[in-house]
A and B are shown apart, each in its own frame.
Chain A
Amino acid sequence: MKARVTVTLKTGILDPQGKAIEGALRSLGIDGITSVRQGKVFDIELEGADGAKAEALLKQAADKLLANTVIENYRVEILS
């Protein structure tokens, strides 16, 4: 089973990397982008075929390790 966990910064947490990326896009002439916040994507393969079980497992993985819940949110998607 293939799944994806996306980890992003909580709103309000300062993201200097995102700011730097915004500036770089502007200087490349790519206009009209008002905000960039950088996150992380984890592409995960699991055993089994039970979607609900997989989601629960991945939530555990995210809570315990993949995300620092002090400053980050996460989203779990089952892809196949």
Chain B
Amino acid sequence: MISNERRITPEQVAEHGLKPDEYQRILDLIGREPTLTELGIFSAMWNEHCSYKSSKVHLRTLPTKAPWVIQGPGENAGVIDIGDGLAVVFKMESHNHPSYIEPYQGAATGVGGILRDVFTMGARPIACLNALSFGDPAHPKTRHLVSGVVAGIGGYGNSFGVPTVGGQVRFHPRYNGNILVNAMAVGLARADKIFYAKASGVGMPIVYLGSKTGRDGIHGASMASAEFGDDSEEKRPTVQVGDPFSEKLLLEACLEIMAKDCVIAIQDMGAAGLTSSATEMGAKGNLGVTLDLDRVPTREIGMTAYEMMLSESQERMLMVLKPEKEKEAEAVFRKWGLDFAIVGTTTPSMRFIVKHRGEVMADLPIKELGDQAPEYRRPFTEPPKLPVIKAEHVSAPMAVADALEHLLGTPDLCSKRWVWEQYDHIIGGNTVQRPGGDAAVLRVLEGPKALALTADVTPRYCEADPFEGGKQAVAEAWRNLTAVGARPLALTDNLNFGNPERPEIMGQFVGCIRGIGEACKALDFPVVSGNVSLYNETKVMGEELGRAIPPTPTIGGVGLLDDFGKSATLAFKAEGETILLIGGDPGWLGQSLYLRDVCGREEGAPPPVDLAAERRHGDFVRAIIAQGIPTAVHDISDGGLLVALAEMAMASGIGASLDASPAGPSPHAFWFGEDQARYVLSVPAPQAEAVVQRAQAAGVAARRLGVTGGPALTIAGERRVPLAVLRDRHEGWLPEYMAAGL
């Protein structure tokens, strides 16, 4: 029976991020006071990041199944079947707080962590995406954060050798003290060779592979759950430093021993390092685990059991190997120059026992450590419904042409080339569609299949109406995949919110989840993996409540194309083609970028999402793409119709002559309204009429907008907008902004 030499004080409990009632739960569970090491273990396993205690009850309501889903949430990543014996393994994760503190390493280790989650299941990573949210460009820290985060993502991904092919970058003052770095990784595996964490067999050696353990990130998982105060500058020492070279060696070694059939169970050491990986391995396999910390390779002298259990040193894996294959595995580890050691065994006892220097430092019930983590049904309030802004109540402060030029040069709509040119998006030789389109398209092996990938969300919609915003996030990801011709298969969600102990924030979370769930169901687009990041708030001097980020539930979508040669792109292809609008044109300005960035108003209810219409319109567009009918396809989102048209023109250098807006909606509402479920197509003139009729027969509104051609966008009744001017604005904002800081 172990005992503590020192009493655990209430201050220590609080320092470990545990509430008094949570501590009482520990006492009740183990029937005695915990040792300091055990307290550390509980604090890591029961914090928000690892236990999902505030979100679990709601996450359970999400649809997670479909005939093509092999593995839903609950493992390192989600797994879907794409036919031909192949599976796609993917997940998105956040590394928000560390990236604010040390942008390069925070972002780099975020990428490293998500890559490990994918290859630990036996999949070779083939693509990364990332969704980044930064504060006000005028805020003194923003440039430094953008520079560091982008360099860190590129630095890690490029060196590791995976193409980074897509994502989002947005700027808003509400992210000033809390930037968001959501990293998504996608890997390819054989559907019958997926590896899980579940250990099996009693008395099996547990093998540690990878970098030596240091003091990195101790209390990192706890940091992920604590709000930032004025002293966050001092949290620097707890950020881990990533080594993509080690991770590359780890990847090759792991894939090799998996191919050689040496592995029974494997788990990467991520948040809460050795603690969470070892307990999960045992608990999932209904086995106990005994660890001998004297055997753990360390790079610092005198590390305590506490430190070793909580260390978040990167690039480490834990595995159970087939005993008859151990020698073979060792040879592979040596070939790749990796440290490995046998650090424990599986036992029949269902206890998690940690020994160090001959003493038992922890002895805990292995299943209950995870199962008995608190689960909260936190009180929540729904936000008030915002009024619908009628277009006729919005006067246009400037001409349509001027508004377009202005919008294309704003931080949210401008070209992000400055960002994605720092990512190797070509390595692998399979990137059919590079950054800049609706979705990235990657050939699968030698083809003909291809994957379409996207990461998307519209936070201002989620804040205005969490339910509609949640629906819209999923619908837009689904639309992005459809617009390149892919059949959307499944998604991963990275839910970033403020402090869940505040009922209004919890209300945002609950509302978004409800909306996400509804859209997943209607679109047959299940959630197979995900991550929750809460407490994204900053205490501001003089304010009682922390200032929270807008609710940002990022959706990472994966779709499949049967023939990569048939994918659609958004650039106009030829002059004299007919431009068609698919979907209606009522002109919704509430929460639009036009209303915000041209009129200066962040107001109104967001555009409602009609899921049946999304399905109908999208299925129609996908069908005609498969038949090779449209020459260009783009879905309409931020900025509305005219921004979509401008993007198609700038990408091609081919302009357009557009008919005047139809009578009824005010012109600015027609051109900039953000009504949902809509696409723009270009088709050869002789086929236009047939396409319109086919659409209408399918219950899809369709109308002719104009004709491609010329060096400008010309709207009847408005001044000409030369493409050269649009390009300058579009490409100019971000590089000029970043250069201004030098």
Give residues in A with beta carbon < 8 Å to B.
Answer: 20, 23, 27
CB distance from A66 to the nearest CB of B (A): 19
Residues of chain B with a CB closer than 8 A to A20's CB = 742
Interface on chain B toward A: helix, strand, loop, or mixed SS?
A: loop
CA distance A27 to B144 in the complex (A): 13
Residues of chain B with a CB closer than 8 A to A27's CB = 742
CA distance A20 to B742 in the complex (A): 8
Residues of chain A with a CB closer than 8 A to B742's CB = 20, 23, 27
CB distance from B86 to the nearest CB of A (A): 44
CA distance A79 to B742 in the complex (A): 38
CB distance from B146 to the nearest CB of A (A): 16
For B621-650 the 0/1 string (1 means CB < 8 A from A) is 000000000000000000000000000000
Question: Which residue of A is nearest B741, CB measured?
Answer: A27
Residues of chain B with a CB closer than 8 A to A23's CB = 742
CB distance from B104 to the nearest CB of A (A): 15
CA distance A33 to B742 in the complex (A): 17
CB distance from B507 to the nearest CB of A (A): 43
CA distance A57 to B572 in the complex (A): 65
Can you show 3 pairs from A to B with CB atoms below 8 A apart? A20-B742, A23-B742, A27-B742
Interface residues in B, total, Cβ within 8 A? 1
CA distance A20 to B741 in the complex (A): 11
CA distance A23 to B742 in the complex (A): 7
CB distance from B554 to the nearest CB of A (A): 33
CB distance from B422 to the nearest CB of A (A): 16
Interface on chain A toward B: helix, strand, loop, or mixed SS?
A: helix
Q: Which 3 A-B pairs have the closest CB atoms?
A: A23-B742, A20-B742, A27-B742
CA distance A27 to B742 in the complex (A): 8
Give residues in B with beta carbon < 8 Å to A.
Answer: 742
CA distance A12 to B742 in the complex (A): 24
Question: Which residue of B is nearest A24, CB measured?
Answer: B742
Question: Which residue of B is nearest A23, CB measured?
Answer: B742
CB distance from B147 to the nearest CB of A (A): 11
CB distance from A16 to the nearest CB of B (A): 12
CA distance A27 to B143 in the complex (A): 14
CB distance from B60 to the nearest CB of A (A): 49
CA distance A20 to B147 in the complex (A): 14
CA distance A27 to B140 in the complex (A): 13
CA distance A27 to B740 in the complex (A): 12
CB distance from A25 to the nearest CB of B (A): 12
CB distance from B399 to the nearest CB of A (A): 39
CA distance A20 to B151 in the complex (A): 15
CB distance from A20 to the nearest CB of B (A): 8
CB distance from B742 to the nearest CB of A (A): 6
CB distance from B740 to the nearest CB of A (A): 11
Question: Which residue of A is nearest B742, CB measured?
Answer: A23
Question: Which residue of B is nearest A20, CB measured?
Answer: B742
CB distance from B52 to the nearest CB of A (A): 41
CA distance A23 to B740 in the complex (A): 12
CA distance A34 to B137 in the complex (A): 31
CB distance from A49 to the nearest CB of B (A): 24
CA distance A20 to B739 in the complex (A): 12
CB distance from B615 to the nearest CB of A (A): 52
CB distance from A60 to the nearest CB of B (A): 24
CB distance from B82 to the nearest CB of A (A): 44
CB distance from A29 to the nearest CB of B (A): 14
CB distance from A48 to the nearest CB of B (A): 23
CA distance A22 to B178 in the complex (A): 30
CA distance A27 to B739 in the complex (A): 13
CA distance A74 to B742 in the complex (A): 31
CB distance from A36 to the nearest CB of B (A): 15
CA distance A21 to B742 in the complex (A): 10
CB distance from B103 to the nearest CB of A (A): 15
CB distance from B142 to the nearest CB of A (A): 15
CA distance A39 to B511 in the complex (A): 54
CB distance from B144 to the nearest CB of A (A): 10
CA distance A40 to B454 in the complex (A): 41
CA distance A69 to B742 in the complex (A): 32
CA distance A64 to B742 in the complex (A): 37
CB distance from A14 to the nearest CB of B (A): 17
CA distance A23 to B739 in the complex (A): 12
CB distance from B73 to the nearest CB of A (A): 44
CA distance A13 to B159 in the complex (A): 26
